Amino acid sequence: MEERIQNIKNEAMAQILGAESVAELEELRIKYLGRKGAINELVKEIPNLLPEKKGFMGRLVNEARSIIENTLSDKKVELESKKAKTTWFDPTIPGIKPPIGHLHILTQAKEEIAGIFEKIGFVRVRYPEVEWDWFAFESLNMPKQHPARDEWETFFVDSATNPKYGQMVLTPHTSSGQVREMERSKKPPIRMVNIAKCYRRQSDVSHTPMFHQFEGLVVDAGINIVNLKGTLDYFARQFFGAQRKTRLRPYHFQFTEPSFEVDISCGICNGAAHSTSSGQGCKLCKAGWLELGGAGMVHPTVLKNGGIDPKKYSGFAFGWGVERTYMMKSGLQIGDIRTLYSADLRFLKQF
């Protein structure tokens, strides 16, 4: 046995000293020192030896083990320092920054819009994206079969019909939160801002089937158009810049009376339309104004549907597209609005 111990030790040393890589050393370590390695096989034989030989052989095996261990670790240091010498390291080169994500451009826009309205006491609310027909249409003065519904190219959900609330739809506009908010708050004053996903069956360069709107609703005693105009002007100044103004154009919605479309003065020609310095017409707008979205005084039927007495209270509401409004602010000229949701990092990283 003594001779075998010597042989294993010598063979191990020769192989370790001739190794050319750290990986090779690891293989040798397993071969000799591993659980089923050559040294352990020797250890297993010791209990069968004559009692007077046990101590001696045990010592020889342990000696062999520690010589192999030391040779392995010395060789490892040698191989590693060789490797380090061949790869040149310059500690003055700036490091590589790990990529850090950021909020999507639309999330940033929603936060900014919410912040502007919260400053003047509006409360941000959320209502269902999958909504009853009642809240999306019927309670907003659009009975079934009413042609005004055509404007909201609605996705209907296959679901059981509720006797009062009708069918389920993917909410096509944030106005579906109006009657819900009246029911929630029960008694005016109401100052809500509802920013939410909306769905319509449209997909082309200027429409995505899912988009966002923000809706303002104020109901209280004596609310009138001046309050609406003042709120819109405040938003325009905060969001677009101190110079900007809004104007109201007569329009029609079933759930507001009177109804308006809201325009904002063009940021390039400042409402002057044709008198830019070059003497030519403004490139961005047609007549000095850009269209933002709908607004109006809440229709008495809508107030009644929300359990509010229209003889005591009045209100205004407005609802605009977040994507459209944000693009007008930054002067972003996006050829295809669907790019916003394409998850293309080359585009998203710019914001």
Report the binding-site residues for Mg(2+): 257
276 dihedral zone (left: phi>0; alpha: psi -120 to 50; beta): beta
Alpha-carbon distances, residue 266 vs 183, 243, 273, 306, 335 (angstroms): 38, 10, 8, 37, 20
The SS3 call for residue 315 is: strand
Per-residue contact flags (x/-) with ligand PHE for residues 124 to 143, judged by CB under 6 A: --------------------
Angle between helices 51-86 and 22-33 in degrees, nearest 10:
170
- Binding segment for ligand PHE (CB under 6 A), chosen from 15-23, 71-79, 230-238, 290-298, is 290-298
DSSP letters of 211-242?
A: EEEEEEEEEETT--HHHHHHHHHHHHHHHH-T
Residue ranges for the known binding site are 257
Per-residue contact flags (x/-) with ligand PHE for residues 143 to 172, judged by CB under 6 A: ------------------------------
Q: Which of 37, 288, 294, 315 binds ligand PHE (CB under 6 A)?
A: 294
How far is 249 from 95, CA to CA, in rounded Å?
A: 57
- Binding segment for ligand PHE (CB under 6 A), chosen from 44-52, 230-238, 293-301, 327-335, is 293-301
* Under rule CB under 6 A, residue 295 binds ligand PHE: yes
DSSP letters of 101-113?
A: ----HHHHHHHHH
Total interface residues for ligand PHE by CB under 6 A: 12
Q: Which of 132, 135, 235, 253 binds ligand PHE (CB under 6 A)?
A: 253
Q: Which of 177, 188, 271, 296 binds ligand PHE (CB under 6 A)?
A: 296
Per-residue contact flags (x/-) with ligand PHE for residues 32 to 71, judged by CB under 6 A: ----------------------------------------
Q: Based on CB atoms, which residue is closest to ligand PHE, 147 or 331?
A: 147
Q: Which of 194, 254, 256, 314 binds ligand PHE (CB under 6 A)?
A: 256
Per-residue contact flags (x/-) with ligand PHE for residues 201 to 230, judged by CB under 6 A: --------------x---------------
The β-bridge relationship of strands 156-162 and 246-253 is unpaired
What pairs with residue 249 in β-bridges? Answer: 261
Q: Contact, 157 vs 168, CB < 8 A?
A: yes
Among 217, 251, 228, 255, residue whose Cα is nearest residue 136: 255
Using CB under 6 A, list all residues that contact ligand PHE. 173, 175, 215, 253, 256, 293-296, 317-319
